[in-house]
Amino acid sequence: MKMLEIKYKCLHPSCIVNCRDGVIAMPEEHFNVLKGHYADETTFRSPKGLCRLGFNQAYKAVAIIAEADFADAAHGHEHEGCGHDPMGLLSADHQVILKKLDEIEQQIKMRDSGTLWRTTTELENIIMLHSIHKEEDTLFPFLLDLPIGDGLVSIIKEDHRELVTLMHSFRTGLAESRILDGLGMSIIVCLRSHIRKEDNEFFKLIDKLLDHDLRTRILAGFKKAEDAFVPIVADENTREQLKKEALAMKRDEMDDAIAAALEETRSSLSGCCH
């Protein structure tokens, strides 16, 4: 499957700053469908969940920056131009996550709890390695001596906590063969928003401040994190463990906790994953 990396500009007259323009990646087939909504070949409909206003907008394709086989993106360390670029490697991870989100969105619609169980296990593994072990445990300590405000790093960490909590709640439901649609869609919307923020703002800011020595040390840390990471397995043992956690709470208390997490996410979507 061919992936297109598209530099775009939102054509909505009152578009807010954070998504007025940027870069997104998507399969070529998906891009062809989205641009089929307009006569102009360079105009396409924004992918679902991308606009923070919650609507499909008209986007102008300013340039198709790159075209690559998705298999290359899925193996970020082998991706040309990323081998010595820690921010490029993290962005390549994002493309894998976005692809996984597309799969999960379709599986929720198909009510396929068995496949969702496996796919969300894969996503949780990617998020834990990427967000917690690569970013928080490896990258962030190197930023302490750089002129980056603590507030921005704190916002990224807050996003991570929200996403991990949502993922755990959604997968606890799946362990009991319950598909919690609201939580699932919140995960998708928040992750897409979080990825935009990191790719378009956070990573660009960091990249300007890294010298060769620091890049080398960060990459060595990434490799160490990957080698030490033990992924969750989508087996019955994991399923039973989540069931036991659910049984440790009264059913009503668990439902209330899930509802509260969902309501908090809905009420702060303008801020959730910012």
58-97 pLDDT, tens per residue? Answer: 888 888 765 444 344 434 444 444 556 899 999 999 999 9
Q: What is the rounded average pLDDT for all residues in the chain? A: 80
> Is residue 202 located within the same domain as residue 110?
yes
Give me the CATH number covering residue 97: 1.20.120
Say if 250 falls within a structural domain.
yes
Say if 272 falls within a structural domain.
no
> Is residue 62 located within the same domain as residue 171?
no
pTM attached to this predicted model: 0.63
- Which pLDDT band, with edges at 50, 70 and 90, does 31 fall under? confident
| CA atoms of 31 and 102, how far apart (whole Å) | 13
> Is residue 128 located within the same domain as residue 202?
yes
> Is residue 89 located within the same domain as residue 48?
no
> Is residue 132 located within the same domain as residue 188?
yes
Looking at 73, 101, 135, the residue that finishes a domain is 73
Which of 18, 45, 20, 49 has the alpha carbon at shortest distance from 34?
A: 45
**pLDDT value at 57 more than 50:** yes
> Is residue 184 located within the same domain as residue 151?
yes
pLDDT digits (tens, 9 = 90+) for 214-253: 999 999 999 999 999 999 888 888 888 888 876 765 555 5
pLDDT score of 70: 39
pLDDT score of 76: 41
Q: Domain limits at 45?
A: 2-73
pLDDT score of 11: 85
Say if 274 falls within a structural domain.
no
- Which pLDDT band, with edges at 50, 70 and 90, does 29 fall under? confident
Looking at 55, 73, 91, the residue that finishes a domain is 73
Interhelix angle 150-175/113-127, nearest 10 degrees = 150
> Is residue 138 located within the same domain as residue 208?
yes
Q: What percent of the chain has pLDDT over 90?
A: 36
pLDDT score of 206: 92
Say which residues have a Cβ less than 8 Å from residue 48's Cβ, sequence separation at least 6: 56, 105
> Is residue 43 located within the same domain as residue 62?
yes
Q: What percent of the chain has pLDDT over 70?
A: 73
> Is residue 55 located within the same domain as residue 156?
no
> Is residue 43 located within the same domain as residue 113?
no
Buried b / exposed e along 89-111 (16+ C-beta atoms within 10 A): bbbbbbbbbbbbbeebbebbeee
Cα 205 off chain centre by: 19
| Structure tokens given for 83 | 């081998």
DSSP code for 48: T
| Mean pLDDT along residues 168-179 | 89
> Is residue 134 located within the same domain as residue 197?
yes
**pLDDT value at 126 more than 50:** yes
**pLDDT value at 122 more than 50:** yes
> What's the domain count of the chain?
2
Looking at 52, 73, 94, the residue that finishes a domain is 73
> Is residue 231 located within the same domain as residue 202?
yes
